[in-house]
Amino acid sequence: MNFSVAEENYIKAIWHLQRYHDDVTTNLLANQLHTRPASVTDMLKKLKTKKLVHYEKYHGFSLTTEGKKIALGVIRRHRLWEFFLSEKLKFDWDEVHEVAEDLEHVSSKKLIDKLDEYLGFPKVDPHGDPIPDNQGKMETSSSICLDQLELNRSAEVSGVGNQSTELLELLKHKNIRIGTKLEIKKRFEFDNSLEIKIRNTPAFTISEQLAKNLLVKHGK
Amino acid sequence: MNFSVAEENYIKAIWHLQRYHDDVTTNLLANQLHTRPASVTDMLKKLKTKKLVHYEKYHGFSLTTEGKKIALGVIRRHRLWEFFLSEKLKFDWDEVHEVAEDLEHVSSKKLIDKLDEYLGFPKVDPHGDPIPDNQGKMETSSSICLDQLELNRSAEVSGVGNQSTELLELLKHKNIRIGTKLEIKKRFEFDNSLEIKIRNTPAFTISEQLAKNLLVKHGK
DNA sequence: AATTAAATTTAGACAAATCTAAAAATTATT
DNA sequence: AATAATTTTTAGATTTGTCTAAATTTAATT
Ligand SMILES: [Mn+2]
Ligand SMILES: [Mn+2]
Ligand SMILES: [Mn+2]
Ligand SMILES: [Mn+2]
């Protein structure tokens, strides 16, 4: 079956919200998609008839197995295009998301599988997020949130909590990107800010909000 | 301003029809877009309010200067993607058109200009059609229709009359592609079929319809 | 347990793009 | 020039996705 741009955006948004919320709510989804709760309800009814979500009115909703499959297809396309834009067209990593938001809806299977091959079957996108393969399987990341990293333990930045230009702009300014090696030198109780050390550069502090939006992997 | 997929498809279709028809008609356009005359009329009214077409009811229509500019933007995107699919992703030349039909509507200017650069500013697409530059300018081809080529005069295939899979399949079977050098050995009055010679291969005949859908450039 | 607050759904409307069937205008033919 | 044939436009529906405002249900608080 074939899905509309709107349907794909809803399905993908539900998938993302499910990752971090036990139950996804109508308001939450409306907020994520910059739309209204009433519109979400309308779409949920449609997605239910297409068997992409489980939905009982007033009692929440979640993706079906089929819904998850569709979501992973969209996410695969999104992240492959992001990789292409970054790697081949030399886009900055804070510019790729918006364009990929459109490209992800061009759904020729052949196009995407050939693109994947052309790119050398990349495993992660420019934000460190794993790219599903053509079966919908992807690496489960062993990343933890930076604010949970132990003091003085070396780690490597592996991902970001969201793709907002605001976040990515801040990271660019602080010279933090995927692969950056760092450790936490001190934790300030007052505001939970962290003193960070990157090799060969002076230490600096980052806010709690920023720490909560950075994923890291332990160094060996 | 930003245009919908439907609007872009209409504008592009009018542009193409204008190339070969003195006046484009409602029926012709409906046929081209696999839609109904009534739908064409509806869209023409809308395009008129957006100043993309001149239109007086019952008396025909044509693109405005602005309309032509929009058309060339869509055509630029279409042909650049076709080149990408063929050159980088190794699609056959009869497979690129359909996918490009979707990709052409992703309208990030930056994306297209960077893609153009990445591809090395190609001048023609896989069907031999010229690619507009970022100013909307493109090579005016000196091609002539194969059925007007003189006997025994060497020429090189430079384009095809349309992108139908049927035509491209036939050309693939006869081993004719962009760049193929050939000459006409004989013209049969009965059905206007032509005997064609390609170097190092036996001569063969092609139908009048095929000849009318092949563009060639004179060899020097 | 009753009341209040918050979340969710319905009712009704609207814009975009399409369609069919009927009416109107243009063009071709007697 | 009148009539017939063709083309084009209108009238009225339909589908998709969205919205606001009001009604309903669930959750929280007295
Ligand atoms: Mn999207
Ligand atoms: Mn990403
Ligand atoms: Mn198109
Ligand atoms: Mn082409």
Of B63, B83, B109, the one marking the end of a domain is: B63
Long-range contacts, stretch B59-68, CB < 8 angstroms, 24+ apart: B60/B23, B60/B24, B60/B25, B61/B14, B61/B24, B62/B14, B62/B18, B62/B23, B62/B24, B63/B11, B63/B14, B63/B15, B63/B18, B67/B11, B67/B14, B67/B15, B68/B15
Q: What is the CATH number of the domain that holds A31?
A: 1.10.10.10
Task: Give the pLDDT confidence score for residue A165 in this predicted structure.
Answer: 86
Ligand 3 midpoint to CA A28 (Å) = 34
Task: Give the pLDDT confidence score for residue A220 in this predicted structure.
Answer: 65
Task: Give the pLDDT confidence score for residue A38 in this predicted structure.
Answer: 98
Number of structural domains in chain B: 2
Q: Domain span at residue A56?
A: 5-63
Per-residue pLDDT, averaged over B73-101, amounts to 96
pLDDT tops 80 at residue B219: no
DSSP structural state of residue A95? T
Task: Give the pLDDT confidence score for residue A51 in this predicted structure.
Answer: 97
Task: Give the pLDDT confidence score for residue A130 in this predicted structure.
Answer: 95
Instruction: Give the H or E element holding residue B66.
Output: helix B65-87
CB spacing of A91 vs B114 below 8 angstroms: yes
The stretches in chain A having pLDDT less than 50 are none
Contact with chain B for residue A102, Cβ under 8 A: yes
B interface test, pick of A77, A81, A89, A91 with most B CB neighbours within 10 Å:
A89
pTM (predicted TM-score): 0.86
Q: Which nucleotides of D are covered by protein (CB under 7 A)?
A: 7-12, 16-22, 25-26
Q: What is the CATH number of the domain that holds B199?
A: 2.30.30.90
Distance of CA A87 to the CA centre of its chain: 18
Task: Give the pLDDT confidence score for residue B202 in this predicted structure.
Answer: 94
In a domain, residue B137? The reply is no
Of B63, B92, B110, the one marking the end of a domain is: B63
A interface test, pick of B3, B8, B89 with most A CB neighbours within 10 Å:
B89
Residue list, CB under 5 A from ion ligand 2: A 82, 125, 127, 129
Contact with chain A for residue B203, Cβ under 8 A: no
Report the residue of chain B nearest A103, measured CA to CA.
B106
Task: Give the pLDDT confidence score for residue A218 in this predicted structure.
Answer: 86
Of B18, B44, B63, the one marking the end of a domain is: B63
Ligand 3 midpoint to CA B111 (Å) = 17
Indicate the average pLDDT of chain B.
Answer: 94
In a domain, residue B108? The reply is no
Tens of pLDDT, residues B110-119: 999 999 999 9
pLDDT band at B141 (very low <50, low <70, confident <90, very high): confident
